[in-house]
Amino acid sequence: MGWNSVSPCDLDREFAPQIAQLLTTPPLHSAKAFPSFRPSFEYYDELIESKKHDGIRVTSSSKHGKGVCANKDFDEDDLILKDQMLVGAQHSLNKLDCIVCSYCFRFIGSVEFQIGRRLYLHSIGTDNDGAFERHCHGSDVGSSTSCSGATNVNANAVPQEVIMSLMAGDMQLPFTDQFALPSVAACPGGCEGELYCSQSCADSDWDSYHSLLCTGSRTEPSRRSALQKFVEHANGTNDIFLVAAKAITYTMLRWWECVALPEDVDSSEEDSFRQQIRDVAFTSLQLLKDAIFDPECSPLFSLDVYGHIIGMFELNNLDLVVASPVEDYFIYIDDLPDSEKEEAEKVTGPFLDALGEDYSVPCEGTAFFPLQSCMNHSCCPNAKAFKRDEDKDGHAVIVALEPIGKDDEITISYIDEDLPYEERQAQLADYGFTSYYTGNFES
């Protein structure tokens, strides 16, 4: 990814060489000369080993930086990688249409709960002028989100008491036992914004980052207020800031949990010691923030450069999509033998009509995947991100588009390769690429 030298910002133009040098991937010989560059590749090696992804390896070159190569031969349609996200978040507006585990992003509750909750939230928007926007957390100006299905839901077509019965589990639709979903587990910190498919996911999310981002009762009031303002700002502008916040808190938690317990601290006082480390970290972060965003400080630490860093993070993320079991359910009903279908549709028909054409809205969000993000772009890729029927969580699934030989680089397209040439050029410009014609389009 190259530095885009065309910028409307005077500071960008004046300090372009320095900024480009800061962001340039170090060549291979640098990694050999300076051991500090090695741990990143040790991280990938350990990650690949722990997840048993022995069919790939992360490599580096002076031309393209990091890349992913095959450790074995792959046939067309073979599964190359199922990459667990490092951080991810459901789009705030998408939460109107489906509820998923905040850690693994599987659908939770029941088909009835999913349908009832969606109709309930949309009925609030229909009955109360302006309430819909409030549930959407404000304007979506500059956001990557959209309120999917919002204009097609006719929630008032179903009586409110029926909707409440669906949500409470008092009403069961026919054949939903064929589409069992995990039960709902609450946030350990008591916030209502995050729900989980299991206690294991709840604990993992808490340990990974949510303990610093929770707005529940366990969070100190002043910090809870600040977090609520941050979430409101992110939802009203661009919710990728929520993903970035998870990445930052993940790093902070890993740091202070790895700090060795001093010899003069008794093991029974470890919790108190860890809390002191947290307090020091927060103070340090506040001082750093004050220094970075001081308008009198060096231009290299301006808000503009911070924006470029966020931009680089955004270019390395992947859309998070998990198919809805509600879609599978209504397809199942439609495929029943005529006699069973007629009886089932007497019950399900009103709900399908109320949901409208967008009854199948999936979970949508943004995520950062550590191994997928290492894959380089090609306009003629040999692999693609593709969810199979059995993939029910938020993992990134990469499958082969064609036979891939051992030691070949595995490439994906960062954009829709079927778009017209001009549109592809425009989209690839965001990544610092230029397309040219050589019989095939390449980047």
**How far is the C-alpha of 112 from the C-alpha of 126, rounded, in Å?**
21
**What is the pLDDT at residue 124?**
84
In the chain, the amino acid numbered 398 is: I
Question: Does any domain span residue 281?
Answer: no
Question: Does any domain span residue 295?
Answer: no
The better pLDDT of the pair 141, 22 is held by 22
The CATH number of whichever domain residue 78 belongs to comes to 2.170.270.10
Query: Where a domain ends, among 272, 303, 331?
Result: 272
pLDDT digits (tens, 9 = 90+) for 290-326: 665 555 544 433 444 444 445 545 556 678 999 999 9
List the alpha helices (DSSP H) in 15-155. 16-23, 28-33, 38-50, 111-127, 131-135
pLDDT digits (tens, 9 = 90+) for 81-118: 999 988 899 998 899 999 999 999 999 999 999 999 99
On whether both 239 and 138 belong to a single domain, the answer is yes
**Those residues with Cβ within 8 angstroms of residue 381's Cβ, 6 or more apart along the chain or in another chain:** 401, 411, 412, 413, 417
In the chain, the amino acid numbered 129 is: D
Question: Does any domain span residue 354?
Answer: no
Question: Does any domain span residue 238?
Answer: yes
Instruction: Give the structural domain span for 421.
Output: 44-84+369-437
Taken in order 401, 407, 85, 423, the sign of the CA dihedral is: negative
Question: Does any domain span residue 422?
Answer: yes
On whether both 262 and 192 belong to a single domain, the answer is yes
**What is the pLDDT at residue 51?**
86
**What is the pLDDT at residue 326?**
96
Question: Does any domain span residue 321?
Answer: no
On whether both 135 and 49 belong to a single domain, the answer is no
On whether both 373 and 428 belong to a single domain, the answer is yes
**How far is the C-alpha of 245 from the C-alpha of 219, rounded, in Å?**
17
Give me the torsion for CA of 46, 50, 55, 56, rounded to 10°: -30
Of 19, 23, 28, residue with least CA distance to 67: 28
With beta carbons less than 8 A apart as the criterion, state whether 322 and 100 touch.
yes
On whether both 74 and 158 belong to a single domain, the answer is no
Q: What average pLDDT does the structure give for the chain?
A: 79
**How far is the C-alpha of 122 from the C-alpha of 149, rounded, in Å?**
10
Q: Are strands 383-385 and 441-442 parallel, antiparallel or unpaired?
A: unpaired
**How far is the C-alpha of 39 from the C-alpha of 48, rounded, in Å?**
14
Instruction: Name the band, by pLDDT with cuts 50, 70 and 90, for residue 422.
Output: confident
Whether the per-residue pLDDT at 416 is higher than 60: the answer is yes
On whether both 406 and 429 belong to a single domain, the answer is yes
Question: Does any domain span residue 316?
Answer: no
**DSSP state letter for 208:** I
**How far is the C-alpha of 341 from the C-alpha of 327, rounded, in Å?**
16
**What is the pLDDT at residue 296?**
52
Give me the torsion for CA of 204, 205, 208, 210, rounded to 10°: -150
On whether both 135 and 75 belong to a single domain, the answer is no
Q: Quick one: average pLDDT of 223-244?
A: 87
Whether the per-residue pLDDT at 267 is higher than 70: the answer is yes
**Those residues with Cβ within 8 angstroms of residue 218's Cβ, 6 or more apart along the chain or in another chain:** 188, 189, 190
Rounded to 10 deg, the angle between the 325-334 and 111-127 helix axes is 110
**What is the pLDDT at residue 423?**
86
Q: Quick one: average pLDDT of 63-67?
A: 81
Whether the per-residue pLDDT at 137 is higher than 60: the answer is no
Whether the per-residue pLDDT at 136 is higher than 50: the answer is no
Taken in order 227, 232, 237, 243, the sign of the CA dihedral is: positive
Give me the torsion for CA of 401, 402, 403, 406, rounded to 10°: -50
Percent of the chain with pLDDT over 70: 72
**DSSP state letter for 2:** -
**What is the pLDDT at residue 65?**
79
Question: Does any domain span residue 300?
Answer: no
Burial 380-417 (b: 16+ CB within 10 A, else e): ebbbebebeeebbbbbbbbbbbeebeeeebbbbbbbee
Q: How many domains would you assign to the chain?
A: 2
The better pLDDT of the pair 159, 256 is held by 159
Query: Where a domain ends, among 215, 238, 272?
Result: 272
Instruction: Name the band, by pLDDT with cuts 50, 70 and 90, for residue 327.
Output: very high
- Choice among 174-183, 274-283, 390-399 with the minimum mean pLDDT: 274-283
